[in-house]
Amino acid sequence: MLYLQQSSCGKGWRFAASDHRGWILEGFPENQEQARLLQSSGIIPRHVVVLYAADTVLIERNSGKRLDPLTEEVYHTTFDWPSDVRIQQRLVEPDLSEEEMSKQLLEYHRNFPGVFQIYQKILRSINADQPCVDVLSQALTYVQTQHRSAAPFTPRMLFCGPPGSGKSLQAALIAQKYGIVNICCGQLLKEAVADKTKLGELVKPYIDSGYPVPDNIVMKILEKRLNAPDCMTKGWVLRGFPRDIEQGERLQKACIIPNRVFFFNLPYESIIERLSQRRIDPVTGERYHMTLRPAPTPKIQARLKQNPKDKEESIEKRVDFYHRNAKELEEFYEDAFYVNADQDPYPIFEFIESCIIKPLP
């Protein structure tokens, strides 16, 4: 979930976040460019809540704020005054003046339409000029709802392509717009291990040793997930499986038959350029690209590490494995669409979307 708000709208709620429980982000993005940066990084919220109130109300709220310099707790002269006299005596006014507050609001109003355009399908506006309990109740009600799929049919889609071809990003964008379930086979196996299921216990030795998980185990996990109620009702987009014709035949035998298949095509030189220059900051976990998104400071640049999978010899093996099996898979899925992945993400997304709304073959 993502919170967007005008200053002093009262967005100070905090929720625990994890891979399984979800996350909440507030204060970012502040403009359309930042929103697109989130999308290009694969960070796709399911719900966006916009808190709004009249500028006069927000300026008045800000003028009543007081800060405890010892604990950094924020209080308010009208709505949240501490009962402890010692706390009252040490409170100080924030540095933000009424004039600076007005400038921030003006900047917000200037940038918000661009952000709204990105998230309008999943965005809910809530009036923050009401009791905090009511605002929280409306926000919780919205984030607990499930979006209906906007697709013209129940999508069952496969994304096939070499590493670095952008399958993950496009799957995330399609899943967000059409409300379908985004499934990565590799991630599904890791989740089974993390959840310590019986199948996960069978998968763990293979993942730990770096060997491929046997197809029969993968199929059991995939069948269970793709036959879950959310996949059956909303549809799904799957990547990472099948990787050869035998796996495709296993899917078909299990009656898991996609109605849209996309093959992403990307030249080897572009794959190398995209993957071999990726780096990760071991301190913050932030990901960078030596050309497209370099580290902001020399200090960060000096400590960046490369994932062994992104070394050229490893990339070459993975690409070679894909191309050895791609021809047979393309013949197996004879009605597939072919995507030129060597271009910006948004033209690719528009092409995929145009194929989704075409009649079934």
Two structure tokens written together for 149 = 């799929």
Two structure tokens written together for 134 = 């009511």
Smallest CA-to-CA distance from 279 within 295, 267, 265 is with 295
Q: How far apart are CA 319 and CA 9, in angstroms?
A: 50
Enumerate residues 6+ apart whose C-beta is below 8 A from 122.
Answer: 45, 46, 47, 48, 147, 176
Say if 361 falls within a structural domain.
no
- Identify the H or E element spanning 48: strand 48-52
Two structure tokens written together for 180 = 């379908």
Say if 317 falls within a structural domain.
yes
Q: What is the pLDDT of residue 95?
A: 77
Q: Which of 90, 111, 143 is the last residue of a domain?
A: 143
Are residues 192 and 126 part of one domain?
A: no
Say if 78 falls within a structural domain.
yes
Are residues 118 and 168 part of one domain?
A: no
Q: What is the pLDDT of residue 269?
A: 93
Are residues 180 and 114 part of one domain?
A: no
**Torsions phi, psi for 264 (to 5 deg):** -90, 125
Are residues 116 and 64 part of one domain?
A: yes
Are residues 228 and 290 part of one domain?
A: yes
Q: How are beta strands 156-160 and 260-265 bridged, if at all? A: parallel
| Coil, helix or strand at residue 32 | helix
Two structure tokens written together for 150 = 């906007």
**Torsions phi, psi for 7 (to 5 deg):** -60, 140
Are residues 198 and 287 part of one domain?
A: yes
Q: Which domain holds residue 24?
A: 2-143
Are residues 252 and 130 part of one domain?
A: no
Whole-prediction pTM value? Answer: 0.60
Two structure tokens written together for 226 = 């793709």
Q: What is the pLDDT of residue 130?
A: 85
Q: How far apart are CA 76 and CA 300, in angstroms?
A: 39
Are residues 52 and 6 part of one domain?
A: yes
Sheet with 181-184: strands ordered across: 181-184, 236-239, 156-160, 260-265, 337-340
Q: What is the pLDDT of residue 219?
A: 94
Give me the helices (H) in 258-311, please. Answer: 268-276, 298-303
Q: What is the pLDDT of residue 251?
A: 92
Q: Which of 121, 143, 165 is the last residue of a domain?
A: 143
How many distinct structural domains can be found in the chain?
Answer: 2
Are residues 119 and 239 part of one domain?
A: no
Are residues 8 and 124 part of one domain?
A: yes
Q: How far apart are CA 307 and CA 314, in angstroms?
A: 10
Q: Which of 91, 118, 143 is the last residue of a domain?
A: 143
Task: Check if the beta carbon of residue 151 is closer than 8 Å to that of residue 122.
Answer: no
Q: What is the pLDDT of residue 114?
A: 86
Are residues 28 and 130 part of one domain?
A: yes
Two structure tokens written together for 26 = 């507030």
CATH number, domain with residue 51? 3.40.50.300
Say if 17 falls within a structural domain.
yes
Q: How far apart are CA 262 and CA 173, in angstroms?
A: 15
Are residues 182 and 95 part of one domain?
A: no
Say if 297 falls within a structural domain.
yes
Smallest CA-to-CA distance from 123 within 213, 51, 37, 227 is with 51
Q: Supply the Cα-derived Rg of the chain in whole angstroms.
A: 24
Q: What is the pLDDT of residue 15?
A: 38
Say if 150 falls within a structural domain.
no
* Per-residue tens of pLDDT for the chain, all 361 residues: 565 555 556 554 433 344 456 788 888 888 888 888 887 666 778 888 998 888 888 888 888 888 888 888 888 888 788 889 898 889 988 777 888 888 888 888 888 888 888 888 788 888 888 888 888 888 888 887 765 555 556 789 999 999 999 999 999 999 988 888 999 999 999 999 998 888 889 999 998 888 889 999 999 999 999 988 888 888 999 999 999 999 999 999 988 889 899 999 999 999 999 999 999 999 888 889 888 889 889 999 999 999 988 899 999 999 999 999 999 999 999 889 999 999 988 899 999 988 887 655 4
